[in-house]
Copies of this chain bind each other. A is one copy, B any other.
Amino acid sequence: MHDRPPSQIAESIEVIAFDVFGTVVDWHQSIAREVDAMQLTVGGDEFALAWRAGYRPAMQKVMSGELGWTRIDDLHRLILDELLQRFGIVHLNEAQKRHLNRVWHRLAAWPDSVQGLTRLKSRYTICTLSNGNLGLLTNMAKRAGLPWDCILSAEVFRKYKPDPAVYRELAAIFDLAPERVMLAAAHQDDLAAARACGLQTAYIERPAEFGPNNLKDVSPDPANTLHARDIGDLAGQLGC
C-alpha cells in the first residue's frame, strides 16, 4: 500500500475528507427498509438499487451541461418520479413523495462511523466531501450524530465529483498543499480522481454497500495511501 511508516503518514495530513453515501452511511439498507415498510409493489432492495443506479446518469446531465446546476435533492426527485412510473406506483400524494425523497436525509450511519469519526476528530479536521447537497448532509449529520468539523459538498463548488476542481478547491479551502489532505472513500474511482490532484487516499471497505445479497469487491488498490476495513480501523492506523 505504502512504504512510509504509519506514523509518518499520520503526521503528514491535517484534514480528512470523507465521501458519504456508502462510505459513512448505509444508503441501501436505509432505503430498502423504508420502502419495504411502505408495502409497495416493488421490494425495498430492488427499489434502492434502481434509485442509486439513476444517480450517475442524472449527475452526468449536470456535468455535461444538459442540465444547469441541480442539487442532489432535485436529481433524486427526478429519478424517483421515473421509478414510481416504472413500477406503476400511482397512489402517493405530493407530501408522501416529498417525504420519501428525503429518505436520503435519513440514511443510517454504518455501525463504526460515529465512533471512528469521533476518534479521528480528536487529531484531524474531518469534513464531508460529498455530491450530496448541504441541507441533506446537515440533516443527515444531525440525525445520525456524525461529528463533522465542516460540511463540504459539490454544492459549494458547483461541480460534482470526480471533477478535479472539487478536490483542488477542498485543499484550497484549508489553505493546504493537496498532500496534507486525505480523502477516505469506499469507491476507487473517487480516490483515483483525488490522487490525480495530489491528495492522499484511504479506501474504506464496505462490502455490503449494495446490500447483503450483492457483495462488492473490496480488494486493495496499492495506489492508495491506506486501506481500511472500516472507519474505526482507519482511526487505529492513524494512531487515533
Q: Which residues of B contact A174 (CB under 8 A)?
A: 135, 138
A149 within 8 A of B: yes
Give the size category of A's interface with B: 20 to 34
| Closest Cβ–Cβ distance, residue A165 to chain B (whole Å) | 14
A24 within 8 A of B: no
Residue from A134, A150, A173, A174 with most neighbouring chain B CB atoms (10 Å): A150
CB pair A149–B138 under 8 Å, yes or no, is yes
A131 within 8 A of B: no
Contact with B along A39-73 (1 / 0, CB 8 A): 00000000000000000000000000000000001
CB pair B173–A134 under 8 Å, yes or no, is yes
| Closest Cβ–Cβ distance, residue A13 to chain B (whole Å) | 15
8 Å CB contact of A135 from B139, B141, B175 = B175
Q: Which residues of B contact A125 (CB under 8 A)?
A: 138-139, 142
Q: Tell me the residues in window 65-123 of chain A with beta carbons closer than 8 Å to chain B beta carbons.
A: 73
A175–B76 CA distance with the chains assembled, in angstroms: 14
The 7 closest A-B pairs by CB, nearest first: A138-B150, A135-B174, A150-B151, A134-B173, A135-B173, A156-B156, A142-B149
Can you list 14 A-B contacts (CB < 8 A)?
A: A73-B175, A125-B139, A125-B142, A127-B138, A134-B150, A134-B152, A135-B175, A138-B149, A138-B174, A141-B149, A141-B150, A155-B156, A155-B173, A156-B156
With A133-B173, A134-B150 known, 18 other A-B pairs at CB within 8 A are A125-B139, A125-B142, A127-B138, A134-B152, A134-B156, A134-B173, A135-B173, A135-B174, A135-B175, A137-B150, A138-B150, A138-B174, A141-B150, A142-B149, A150-B151, A151-B151, A155-B156, A155-B173
